[in-house]
């Protein structure tokens, strides 16, 4: 059995992204275990996938699956430009990500940030 962390979003407080030492972006993840069936396949825990989807829907990103598929077709120049705008449009704070109050999500299609309330789950599937 192997495990992986599914990236849910970015930890934030007051509309700012939290940075981990030494200045790396924080992250909100969920640990999922899977059985390897082949070199490139795995199953994501349905509870983790439901949380991933629910977080996006709480942010108003109801078409997130279509947006993900569209982004896969963008060329590297467009991806780089959007990434620059993404980081340039939000304040970043050097602060312990464990104290986050929100999860930040970026909508690459409309190039805007969305924030949803966050509370640490009771199980061992998180890592901020």
Give residue-wise pLDDT tens across range 44-62: 788 888 999 999 999 999 9
Helix (H), strand (E) at residue 90: none
Q: Which residues pair with 41 in a beta bridge?
A: 38
Q: What is the pLDDT of residues 106-128, one digit of tens each?
A: 999 999 999 999 876 654 434 44
pLDDT at 125: 39
Torsion sign across C-alpha atoms 101, 115, 28, 8: positive
pLDDT above 70 as % of the chain: 80
Average pLDDT over residues 93-105: 81
């Amino acid at each position: 059995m192997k495990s992986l962390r599914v990236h849910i979003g970015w930890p934030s407080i007051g509309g700012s992204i939290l940075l981990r030492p030494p200045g790396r972006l924080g992250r909100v993840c969920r640990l999922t275990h899977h059985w390897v069936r082949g070199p490139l396949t795995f199953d994501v825990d349905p509870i983790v996938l439901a949380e991933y989807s629910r977080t996006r829907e709480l942010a108003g990103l109801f078409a997130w699956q279509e947006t993900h598929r569209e982004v896969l077709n963008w060329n590297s120049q467009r991806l780089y430009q959007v990434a620059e705008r993404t980081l340039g449009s939000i304040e970043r704070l050097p602060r312990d990500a464990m104290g986050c109050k929100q999860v930040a999500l970026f909508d690459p299609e409309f190039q805007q940030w969305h924030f949803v309330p966050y509370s640490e789950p009771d199980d061992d599937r998180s890592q901020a």
